[in-house]
Amino acid sequence: MSSTSSIRVRFAPSPTGIFHVGGARSALFNWVMAKQSGGTLVLRIEDTDASRNSPEWTEGIIRALAWLGMDGGEYEGPYFQSANADKHAAAARTLVDSGRAYYCDCTREDVVARTGDQHKGYDGFCRDRGLDPGPGRALRFRTPYEGQTTVVDLLRGKPVFENALLEDFVIARADGSVTFLLANAVDDMSQGITHVVRGEEHLPNAPKQQLLWEALGSEPPVWAHIPVIVNEKRQKLSKRRDKVALEDYRAEGYLPEAMRNYLMLLGWSPSGDREIVPWEVIVEEFRIEDVNTSPAFFDEKKLRAFNGDYIRMLPVEKFISACLPFLEDAPFEVDMAVFAQLAPLAQTRVALLSEIVPMVDFAFLDEPPEDERSWAKAMLKGPADEILAGAEDAYRDAPWRADELKTRLEQVGAEHGLKLGKAQAPVRVAVTGRTVGLPLFESLEILGRERTLARIAAARARLASATG
């Protein structure tokens, strides 16, 4: 693809369920191609399957695209396939009138009875029967049995398909509704689509749709079938088995910038030895021809690491703003002035925004949260009470600064032959409730002397009760 030629690409999802990360990647690839060339991205909602479609799924698609950065100003549409029913019907009539399609009343059982093979495709029985439309009669495309159809694909070269193996496929059902193959081709033609970029699972449809384009008097588009996305077992991502809903990742606190960057790397690599790449660089460097055809592994652990990197790159003010939806749902009231002090500490620790609530809850609860595993690990081994007693004495008159609090606890630990890492464990659990969390001494400074000492005393009382 020339980087200077203006193109028209489309993203054409069906509103039949959650917004799949694979669909999000297809949308991004198409969007970037349009931006590079000064071309146009068309959003078309393929909503002709009335039994499975829902307006809420359509709204979910539009919200998901907006979250990724594709608001209404980034694409043309949305158009709805159902609005093109007249065009689809007209195309079907054109194919019948030109002899490129015919009516067929064969059932699957009829075909099996004639061929003796339940796996064999349609045998062309009705090609020359001259049936008129009527109940129980579908419309089939008259595939040229001779020759081959070559699909020019920007990723896969020129796959060749034997026409004799394509069979006469159905383009309109007995009830008059057209199939995906015809509707998709007609919509692409009427909307002037020049490049069709979609998942490789659609590659077997390409020769059929290309034949339809040609039969309707149009030049086929440029094809690009991008690689399938697989899980760690190298199985194709499935919404029944894997976490694939973009909405779920958003709800967990993934940043759109991180998701966008990661999805663009599923099959493509930027220049140099780097993966965290500014969006502007991705838009400049991406070439659909450079996409690898091998299956792309969706590594959630890697995505999580990406997200942590993007969180740490945020200005602290934006980090605080990004945390607000999660803080608003917290089961306690958040003092934003206190949170503003904790935010720089938390920003270095969280990989997901949803982790912010358990990271800072100790500062807003009347008592630290109870975590029995943390308690057992820190309090029931070693001289926990002696460390707490020493900290209580040392902190009673200490200058209330993180550096001084650290020095004093180091001294307490040394008296018991413990390094700081071991000495601070019971203090951390006494004050924050957990063995892992924000930097301890900065947290104590923010929490204040009175609350810190009260929590240490309460932990000592619990220890005494347990051992008494």
- Return d(Cα 316, Cα 360) in angstroms, integer: 16
Query: Residue 191: its pLDDT value, please?
Result: 97
User: Among this protein's residues, is 239 annotated catalytic?
Assistant: yes
Q: What pTM was computed for the model?
A: 0.92
Per-residue pLDDT tens, the chain, 468 aa: give them: 444 458 999 999 998 888 999 999 999 999 999 999 999 999 999 998 766 778 889 999 999 999 999 998 999 999 999 999 999 999 999 999 999 999 999 999 999 999 888 888 899 999 999 999 999 999 999 999 899 999 999 999 999 999 989 999 999 999 989 999 999 999 999 999 999 999 999 999 999 999 999 999 999 999 999 999 999 999 999 988 999 999 999 999 999 999 999 999 999 999 998 999 999 999 999 999 999 999 999 999 999 999 999 999 999 999 999 999 999 999 999 999 999 999 999 999 999 999 999 999 999 999 999 999 999 999 998 899 999 999 999 999 999 999 999 999 999 999 999 999 999 999 999 999 999 999 999 999 999 999 999 999 999 999 999 876
Q: Any idea what DSSP says for residue 367? A: S
Query: Residue 468: its pLDDT value, please?
Result: 63
Query: Which of 66, 243, 212, 190 has its CA nearest to residue 144?
Result: 212
Listing DSSP states for 173-222 in one string gives -TTSPBPHHHHHHHHHHHTT--EEEEEGGGGGGHHHHHHHHHHTT----E
- Return d(Cα 58, Cα 51) in angstroms, integer: 14
CB environment 139-177: b (16+ within 10 A), e (fewer): bbbbbeeeeebebebbbbeebebeeeebbbbbbbebeee
Q: 303: alpha, beta or left, given left = phi > 0 and alpha = psi -120 to 50?
A: alpha
- Mind spelling out the 3-state secondary structure of 384-443? HHHHHHHHHHHHHCCCCCHHHHHHHHHHHHHHCCCCHHHHHHHHHHHHHCCCCCCCHHHH
In this structure, the number of other CB atoms found within 10 A of the CB of residue 440 comes to 20
Token pair for residue 206?
A: 């390409």
Query: Residue 49: its pLDDT value, please?
Result: 75
- Return d(Cα 155, Cα 291) in angstroms, integer: 7
Residues 112, 143: contact at Cβ < 8 Å?
Answer: no
- Under 8 Å CB-to-CB from 435, ≥6 apart: which residues? 371, 374, 377, 378, 425, 428, 429
Residues 220, 213: contact at Cβ < 8 Å?
Answer: yes
Give the three-class secondary structure for 150. strand
- Return d(Cα 63, Cα 218) in angstroms, integer: 34
List 223's β-bridge partners, or say none: 153, 196
Looking at residue 151, its amino acid is V
CB environment 323-340: b (16+ within 10 A), e (fewer): beebbeeeeeebeeeebe
Query: Which of 459, 462, 455, 9 has its CA nearest to residue 223?
Result: 9
Q: 314: alpha, beta or left, given left = phi > 0 and alpha = psi -120 to 50?
A: beta
Query: Residue 218: its pLDDT value, please?
Result: 96
Give the three-class secondary structure for 112. helix
Number of DSSP helices (H) and strands (E) in the chain, helices first: 19, 12
Catalytic residue among 120, 239, 318, 381: 239
Q: Any idea what DSSP says for residue 153? A: B
The owner of tokens 């033609």 is 189
Query: Residue 240: its pLDDT value, please?
Result: 87
